[in-house]
Chains A and B, each alone.
Chain A
Amino acid sequence: MRAVFTLSRLVFGALFVYAGAEKVMDAQAFAAVIFNYQVLPAKMVYGAAMLLPALEVVCGLALCVGTLARGAAVVLNVLMAVFMALMGWAMVRGLDVTCGCFGGAGQAVSKETLVRDGLILLLGLVALWGAFSGGKDCDRC
């Protein structure tokens, strides 16, 4: 089980480091994605476009190296759940938006992106379980 926890922690963390880095590189494009979701006031779009990718990279790195891993696992799972809820909400409203999952350009929100994120969330829940499982996975959790 320890190997499963370790693997999930590393893969889930690395996915967020990659996704966050893509968004950091092109914050303007990610701001456009956030704006198009129509859930944040226009004044909060740029702040979110800068803070969310930083959270993804910092928490992803923390999870990968096993430092502050419980907090990182909580933050990333909450982010994942929020992203999925927003995607679902965009689909319900019939918005034609790119998911913004790995930066500005990319796939439009669809059932496929929702299922893919569902699988990633499942991986994240395993990583969360590992991080809270009494430190059997990482010494510094």
Chain B
Amino acid sequence: MLQQARRPWWPDVVVLTVISIMAAWVVNVARPQPLPWWGDYKAVKVQEAARKGLEVLTPAQAMEALKAGSWVFVDAREPDEFAAGHIPGAVNISAEVLLTGLDAAARAFPKDKPLLFYCGGISCPKSKDLAEGFKQMGFTALAVMPEGMEGWTAAGGPVEGGN
């Protein structure tokens, strides 16, 4: 018996891709804050910090701040990550305190003390979240280094602790 000729499969791929693009577009438009299709990931993350009303420092600017001694560096990562290596003189306030209560951590500093928060890298939200928590507690001089430890070490910043 003759088998009926089958249509090619590749138009299916085209149709499915077009449907997927349309679905992704619709879902994105419906998001409370739509994501940029062609937005530089790093730049968007930096803008997020600035939108929260936080001063944004590059690793180079943070190095100047470290030399000047004008800021307290706050490492928002977990204690084991902090122990593995951190910016010299930094204090470790894990972002976990946002869940357990910021009061004790906030009492350690006067409200006008300049605090500079950092965490692992540009993808890490902990520094921004913790800084926002301090802002809500009434702190006035807050900054973040969005590029975090990755940006710091890449820029040749000194590291304390660890191996």
Contact = CB atoms under 8 A, between A and B. Distances in A.
The answer to whether A and B assemble together is yes
B47 interface: no
A55 B35 CA distance: 17
B76 to A, nearest CB: 16
Smallest CB-CB A-B distances: 3 pairs: A71-B12, A32-B123, A54-B24
Contacts of A74: 9, 12-13
A47 interface: yes
A58 B3 contact: no
Interface stretch (A5-13, A35-43, A83-91, A111-119): A35-43
A134 B9 CA distance: 12
B35 A72 contact: no
Interface string B102-136: 00000000000000000001110000000000000
9 contacts: A27-B31, A43-B41, A45-B41, A47-B37, A49-B35, A54-B24, A55-B20, A71-B10, A75-B17
Contacts of B52: none
Interface in B1-47: 3, 6, 9-17, 19-21, 23-24, 27-28, 31, 35-44
Nearest to B17: A55
A95 B24 CA distance: 29
A46 B16 contact: no
Interface residues of B, number: 32
Contacts of A59: 16, 20
Interface of B: 3, 6, 9-17, 19-21, 23-24, 27-28, 31, 35-44, 121-123
A36 B45 CA distance: 14
Given A46-B44, A68-B15, A71-B13, A58 B23 contact: yes
Contacts of B14: 71
Contacts of A31: 35, 41
A76 B24 CA distance: 17
Contacts of A70: 9, 12
A79 to B, nearest CB: 11
A27 B39 CA distance: 14
Given A55-B16, A74-B9, A134 B3 contact: yes
